[in-house]
């Protein structure tokens, strides 16, 4: 059967996925800001809570849109973005994920706890960690539940579908896999803060992209992304000042 145009995973579609993601984030941010101002005009809402609410809303919007797009195109499109079983044994895939998780976090520990302090940048943490710390100290169970939902489900699924599923997979059809991973990881990295931690974010993204190439399965990249965020959540609850 001849593949129709709308079933093709083109670079244009991959770039459009990034544009749609950022557009949803912008719209969600505006909606949340106006919503809080409308319903609670006299109370100043902390920026971290505004950020959490807008990130959750945008993540749900993005997942919903791409779920609709994937279902609209149909099953022939699934394997093009990695929605298929791993092409290596499940046990080997899980071993790969665990090994990559340990090695990347060990390298991140070296960068965060050894290299940065030596350069005079001690104690720097990422945006997600800052949000977690604020909620843990100042807010309640509802806010923490929202943060965990974002960190352990909405965020990983949304980012992996957009960055690895659409962007990297579309690029890999036209350029070498390593170049597709490189470009995707640069785009992924610049969307995170602070800049001083960009080497860590790039390392994670490149590793997850490599896992997609080896396994062919987006499920594996979602899994390691969730486990990575879970590790940081455990670190936060335990109060260990070892990683950002």
Question: The pTM is what?
Answer: 0.93
Q: Does 242 have pLDDT greater than 80?
A: no
Mean pLDDT of the chain: 92
Q: Does 54 have pLDDT greater than 90?
A: yes
Residue 37 pLDDT class (50, 70, 90 cuts): confident
Q: Does 192 have pLDDT greater than 60?
A: yes
Higher pLDDT, 152 or 241: 152
pLDDT at 36: 86
Give me the percent of the chain exceeding a pLDDT of 90: 74
The lowest-confidence range among 34-43, 49-58, 75-84, 103-112 is: 34-43
pLDDT at 40: 75
Q: Does 216 have pLDDT greater than 90?
A: yes
Handedness of CA 187, 228, 113, 240 (dihedral sign): positive
pLDDT at 2: 53
The lowest-confidence range among 3-12, 44-53, 83-92 is: 3-12
């Amino acid at each position: 059967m001849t593949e129709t145009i709308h079933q093709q995973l083109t670079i244009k579609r991959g770039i459009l996925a990034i544009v749609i993601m950022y557009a949803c984030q912008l719209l969600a941010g505006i909606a949340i800001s106006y919503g809080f101002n409308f319903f609670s005009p006299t109370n100043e809402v902390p920026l971290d809570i505004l950020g959490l609410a807008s990130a959750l809303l945008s993540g749900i919007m993005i997942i919903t849109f791409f779920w609709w797009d994937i279902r609209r195109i149909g099953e022939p499109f699934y394997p093009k973005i990695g929605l298929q079983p791993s092409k290596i044994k499940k046990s080997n895939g899980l071993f790969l994920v665990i090994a990559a998780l340990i090695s990347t976090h060990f390298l991140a520990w070296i960068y965060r706890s050894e290299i940065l302090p030596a350069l005079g940048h001690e104690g720097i943490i990422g945006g997600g960690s800052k949000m977690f710390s604020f909620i843990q100290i100042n807010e309640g169970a509802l806010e923490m539940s929202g943060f965990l939902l974002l960190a352990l489900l909405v965020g990983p699924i949304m980012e992996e579908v957009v960055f690895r599923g659409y962007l990297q997979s579309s690029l890999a059809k036209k350029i070498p896999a390593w170049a597709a991973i490189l470009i995707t990881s640069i785009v992924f990295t610049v969307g995170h803060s602070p800049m001083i931690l960009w080497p860590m974010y790039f390392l994670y993204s490149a590793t997850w992209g490599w896992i997609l190439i080896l396994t062919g399965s987006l499920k594996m990249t979602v899994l390691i992304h969730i486990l990575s965020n879970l590790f940081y959540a455990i670190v936060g609850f335990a109060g260990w000042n070892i990683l950002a």
